[in-house]
Amino acid sequence: MKIKMQVHSWTSSMSAALFAILLFSTSCFAAIETYQFDTAQQEADYNQLIDELRCLVCQNQNLADSNADLAKDLRQQVHKMLVTEKANKQQIVDFMVARYGEFVLYKPPVENHTLLLWFGPMLFLLIGFFALFSYVKRQKNLPAEVE
């Protein structure tokens, strides 16, 4: 009976810890500011932009996910350009690239110097297939083993 009690308390503390982790992880991913938009289109553009622009301080997060000061400033900048200055998405992307370079884009444009980035994985897949086919072919040509 005593043992059973212990097990129970262990599982409940585990679930409490799990709950705490879940709570934390969700709060990390929330952008805190509330912004007003004139149209639904602006809001959609805003959300898409902060999703596609990189936070340069914490380099593996986009502007939407990051709590860094710079990310906050850049979200504000995106909002200001969209709502106050009525800029379109491309103008905002150009604004960011002019200041922070193409690194700010999570989705870089397909250009000569980004070809390897875009099609490199495909290239490696093809090499893999080629290696696999030639291996299988060689196996087939081998004389069948005699039992």
Partner 1 sequence: MKKQLIPLGIFAALVAFLAIGLTLDPQKLPSPLIGKPAAEFDLPELYTQEPFSPSQLQGKPWILNIWASWCVSCRQEHKLLVDFSKGNQTIIVGLNYKDTPDEAKAWLKELGNPYTITVEDPQGKAGIDWGVYGVPETFVIDARGIIRHKFTGPLTKKRLREELLPLLAEFEKEAIQDEN
Residue ranges binding partner 1 (CB under 8 A)? 56-57, 59, 69-70, 73-74, 77, 97-103
Element (H, E) at 139: helix 115-141
> Judged by CB, which is closer to partner 1: 12, or 69?
69
Closest distance to partner 1 from the beta carbon of 98 (Å): 6
> Judged by CB, which is closer to partner 1: 11, or 91?
91
Closest distance to partner 1 from the beta carbon of 104 (Å): 9
Rounded alpha-carbon distances, angstroms, from residue 82 to 2, 68, 86: 64, 21, 5
Q: 102-106: which pairs have CB atoms within 8 A and are 24 or more residues apart?
A: 103/54, 103/56, 104/53, 104/54, 104/56, 105/52, 105/53, 105/54, 106/51, 106/52, 106/53, 106/54, 106/62
> Judged by CB, which is closer to partner 1: 99, or 107?
99
> Judged by CB, which is closer to partner 1: 17, or 123?
123
Element (H, E) at 69: helix 69-79
Closest distance to partner 1 from the beta carbon of 70 (Å): 6
Which residue bears the tokens 């912004």? 35
Closest distance to partner 1 from the beta carbon of 90 (Å): 17
> Judged by CB, which is closer to partner 1: 27, or 111?
111
Closest distance to partner 1 from the beta carbon of 23 (Å): 29
